[in-house]
Structure 1
Amino acid sequence: MVTLLVIADDLSGHTPPFRNPPLVLTVLEIRYPEIAGGLTDDAVAAMKEAVRDSLPIMATQIEQQVDVAVEVPAPLQVTQRTAPRFCTRDQATALVVRHDALVLETTAYAGWVEHFRPLARQVVETLERICAPDGVLRIGLRYIDEIRVPNAGDEPEDWDGYINSQLLAAAAAELRPAGMNATAWQGRIQYQTEASYALTVRYGPQTVYAVDPEGPTRRKSVHPPGPYFLLDSDAFWTSEHEIPEFAADGILERCDRVHQAASDFFKIAVTDKLRAEVLDRSMDAPSTKDLT
């Protein structure tokens, strides 16, 4: 969900998309058993050619893996690996292909059906054809929203009416001992949505940014730093009893289901007032909050 979407038609039923979308990052991770021998130079070259039109820029990403011995004291073992990274020219969308997972992320989400799902299908079909992983272990779809309301500050009451009141309950006035003010809080909840599927959501008021504007996947528009309400939704499927084959149709069907869970939560978490005064407001028109 984190906004659960830069485009709001999938998440809120709105068409056209929000004028001021809260979604700042969307990440799809698909894990699979380690590819024997890793990615060969020929496989990387074939993948580069296959995604050239969508993700024309290729670079090498260096990653470190730290192994910790649990049973006996031992020095940390640090393994360094490289992975190809393909991105758009504006660096707002990127694909990293590791020996055991692919990660597709964007800060320029333009809808599930219209934009992100077709790109996910392209990269999954490409990996299936070139590397043929032995199966699929986990599919996770994460949405990070920074919900910013004009003039909102550090007080819990600033979010009243904009965020579902149930998500604000921890800082409600009746739960505060005399003389105490809630200055920060963060909630976390996990739902079992169906067998093998779950949704974890972190939420609460924050400051500055949830996603670094200077990160490798660049944000196309950045608000000035300040208070925001975080919705960080991670919907996922995991293989519990058997490892299904790595097949694009089956993977995309599971992606649709995790997307739906995140979308459903977002619809409940935000209010009509937030949609009208902030998300759907013309940039040239003051919000009701601006006038009070």
Structure 2
Amino acid sequence: MGPREIYPNPPLALAVVELRHPITAALSEAEQAALKGCLAEVFPLSRPAPGAVSMTVTPAGVTNEQTPPSPRYMTRDNTASVTFRLDAIAVETTRYVRRSTLRELLRLAVDARQKVAAADGVTRLGVRYVNEVRAGIEGPADWAQWINPDLTNIASLEAGTTGLARSWQGMAVFGDQQEGVVLRHGNLNGYAVNPSGDLRRPTPPPGPFYLIDLDSYWTPEGETPTFDWDIIESRYDAAALNAHALFEQLITDKYRREVLRRDQ
């Protein structure tokens, strides 16, 4: 296999690696300080991620549970972060360059976690790419110029006197429960990744875009493997390459020539 092309004008708005592990105790203040010390060269800013509220309905009534904020560390340019949840490590970036660069950020996070408060094993690895495909269109049917017609053919369907399809969203699952890719797609308007979020991102003018959201995953079968970098690295590479292979099938040559290879 030859080297994969790095496009000068990619549609990727957000890349995320989520590495799940058995639930652990909350990190103490001393452990959080130790994590910050391990990560300081790349992620010097401590900005805890907000906790979440979960609602449980029982015969006795409704109860709300508040999870505490998660330790999160960010780069100075606010384009990448690593979050340590009770059950996962999440590395996110809005400035994705290549697979190896994101892999090194993941390794830094894994090494820090294992040095400070080791996780017991790996329960799931997911690599997610959220793409906002933007190109010149006059109407929904024009997406067929840029996106594989297998995804856009619904634009030719007509519902009686109400006219053609104006918008659509879909999901497809490739693979099985252990390994695969979940594709979410559709023609939308605005942004898939909030420009006002905690991570700073390039902000094109709002308007129509085609969402290609890929979640490539691996879940161990049977035993829970150790939190070992050699295992994590090989599974990360495989998941990322599976997502890349699918993405290349979802876009047209016209999109490659006229948009992806265009210098910004």
Aligned to 2:261: 280
Report 1:192-231 matches (<5 A): 192=175, 196-219=178-201, 221-231=202-212
Helix, strand or coil at the partner of 1:94: strand
CA contact (8 A) 1:128 1:248 kept: no
In the alignment, structure 2 segments of 5+ residues that lack a partner are none
- Asked whether 1:118 is paired with 2:104, we answer yes
SS at match of 2:95: coil
Conserved? CA contact 1:34–1:100, under 8 Å: yes
Following superposition, the deviation at residue 31 of structure 1 comes to: 1.1
CA contact (8 A) 1:140 1:234 kept: yes
Tell which deviates more after alignment, 250-259 or 221-230. Answer: 250-259
2:135 is aligned to: 149
Instruction: Map 1:234-273; keep pairs closer than 5 Å.
Output: 234-273=215-254
The residue aligned with 2:10 is: 21
Matches for 1:72-221 after TM superposition, within 5 Å: 72-113=59-100, 115-150=101-136, 152-153=137-138, 155-171=139-155, 173=156, 175-179=157-161, 180-192=163-175, 196-219=178-201, 221=202
Q: Give, in angstroms, the shift of residue 276 of structure 1.
A: 0.8
1:50 maps to 38
Q: Post-superposition, which runs of at least 4 consecutive aligned residues in structure 1 deviate over 3 A?
A: none
**How many residues are matched?**
262
Aligned residue type for 1:181: L
**Contact in 2 for aligned 1:135/1:244 (Cα 8 Å):** yes
Q: Which runs of 5 or more structure 1 residues have no equivalent in the other structure?
A: 1-8, 284-292
| Aligned partners of 2:144 and 2:153 also within 8 Å | no
**Which amino acid is the alignment partner of residue 237 of structure 1?**
W
Residue aligned with 1:25, SS: strand
Residues of 1 paired with 2:227 and 2:40: CA distance?
23
Structure 1: distance between partners of 2:263 and 2:227: 44
Shift of 1:67: 4.2
Partner amino acid, structure 2, of 1:62: P
RMSD of aligned alpha carbons: 1.8
**Change beyond 3 A, Cα 1:65–1:137:** farther
2:146 counterpart letter in structure 1: Y
Match of 2:23 in 1: 34
> Which whole-Å CA distance do the structure 2 matches of 1:217 and 1:81 have between them?
21
Would the aligned equivalents of 2:81 and 2:93 in 1 still touch at CA under 8 Å? Answer: yes
Structure 1 residue 178 displacement after superposition:
4.3
- Distance in 2 (CA, whole Å) between partners of 1:144 and 1:79 is 28
Identity rate of aligned residues, in percent? Answer: 34
Using the TM superposition, give the Cα deviation of residue 177 of structure 1 relative to its aligned residue in structure 2, in angstroms.
4.0
